């Protein structure tokens, strides 16, 4: 039996194309529904903590409301970094989480 998964939401709370911010171990996590599949990454931008739950999900990409960094919710990878005038700071990928569903429940576990 798999251990360490925590129920954080139910499916009806996250429609296709939507996200929800949840908490796991004191961390903000963004759970996204991409075409009926659920993914979870850190909900705080790795640049300066912008709230990715304020973003509209476009396909599998969320955009930080602060300086426009884009992250792929299916991999946690940076799609494009922040843009502050001519300054384009490098940022790290988001923490990812393993997601599983059990009936109506969505459970996640930190990806080591």
Please state, in angstroms and rounded to a whole number, the distance separating the CA atoms of residues 76 and 9. 20
Shorter beta-carbon distance to ligand FES: residue 48 or 109:
48
Q: Which of 62, 106 has the CB closer to ligand FES?
A: 62
The 8-class DSSP code of residue 85 comes to: T
Tokens 């705080």 locate to 44
Tokens 């996640």 belong to 108
**Three-state DSSP state, 108:** strand
Under rule CB under 6 A, residue 64 binds ligand FES: yes
The answer to whether 42 contacts ligand FES (rule: CB under 6 A) is no
When the beta carbons of 69 and 107 are compared against ligand FES, the nearer one is 69
To ligand FES, the closest distance from the beta carbon of 41 in angstroms equals 13
| Residue 49 in tokens | 């903590």
What residues make contact with ligand FES under the rule CB under 6 A?
45, 47-48, 50, 64, 66-69, 82
């Amino acid at each position: 039996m798999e251990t360490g998964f925590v129920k954080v939401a139910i499916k009806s709370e996250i429609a296709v194309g939507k996200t929800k911010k949840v908490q796991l171990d004191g961390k903000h996590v963004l759970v996204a529904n991409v075409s009926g599949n659920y993914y979870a990454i850190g909900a705080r931008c790795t640049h300066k903590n912008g709230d990715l739950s304020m973003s509209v999900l476009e396909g599998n990409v969320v955009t930080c409301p602060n300086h426009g960094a884009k992250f792929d919710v299916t991999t946690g990878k940076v799609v494009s970094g922040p843009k502050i005038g001519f300054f384009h700071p490098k940022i790290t990928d988001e923490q990812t989480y393993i997601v599983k569903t059990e009936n109506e429940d969505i459970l996640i576990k930190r990806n080591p």
